[in-house]
Chains A and B, each alone.
Chain A
Amino acid sequence: MMQPCHLVTHDLACRRGDRLLFRGLNLEIAAGGACHIAGPNGIGKTSLLRLLGSLLSPFGGTVSRRGSIALLGEKSALDPQAPLGSALAFWSGLDGLPPIGREEQIETLGLSDLLDVPVRFLSTGQTKRAALARLLGQQADIWLLDEPLNGLDQDGVSMIEALIAGHCAAGGIAIAASHQAITLPARTNVDLTEYAR
Chain B
Amino acid sequence: MIVRLLWRDLSLLLPGGRQGGTFLPLLFFLAVAMLFPFAVGPDAPLLARTGGGVIWVAALLASILPLDRLVGADLEQGVFDQLALRGIAEELALAVRMAAHWLSFAPLLLLAALPAAALLSLDGMIVRKLLLGLLAGTPGLAAIGVMIAALTAGLRGGAALSGLLLIPLAVPILIFGAGSLARPDFAGVALAGAISLFLVAVAPFAGGAAIRSARES
Contact = CB atoms under 8 A, between A and B. Distances in A.
Interface of A: 50, 53-57, 69-71, 73-82, 90-91, 93-96, 134, 138, 140
A79 B88 CA distance: 18
Q: 8 closest A-B pairs (Cβ-Cβ)?
A: A75-B78, A81-B18, A77-B78, A77-B82, A77-B79, A93-B4, A90-B8, A77-B77
Contacts of B20: 81
Interface in B63-98: 76-79, 81-82, 84-86, 88
Contacts of B88: 94
Contacts of B216: 56-57
A73 B78 contact: yes
B77 A55 contact: no
Interface of B: 1, 4-5, 8, 11-12, 18-20, 76-79, 81-82, 84-86, 88, 215-216
B30 to A, nearest CB: 26
Contacts of A140: 85
B4 A90 contact: yes
Question: Do most interface residues of chain B lie in helix, strand or loop, or is the interface mixed?
Answer: helix
Nearest to A86: B11
A8 B46 CA distance: 72
B85 A70 contact: yes
Nearest to B19: A81
Nearest to A81: B18
Contacts of A54: 84
Given A76-B77, A77-B81, A79-B12, A95 B86 contact: yes
B1 A55 contact: no
Given A55-B85, A76-B77, A79-B77, A94 B1 contact: yes
Contacts of B85: 53, 55, 69-71, 140
Given A81-B19, A82-B18, A55 B81 contact: yes
A49 to B, nearest CB: 11
6 contacts: A55-B81, A55-B85, A70-B85, A82-B11, A94-B4, A95-B86
B160 to A, nearest CB: 23
A81 to B, nearest CB: 4
Among B79, B82, B86, B216, the one with the most A-chain Cβ atoms within 10 Å of its Cβ is: B82
A157 to B, nearest CB: 23
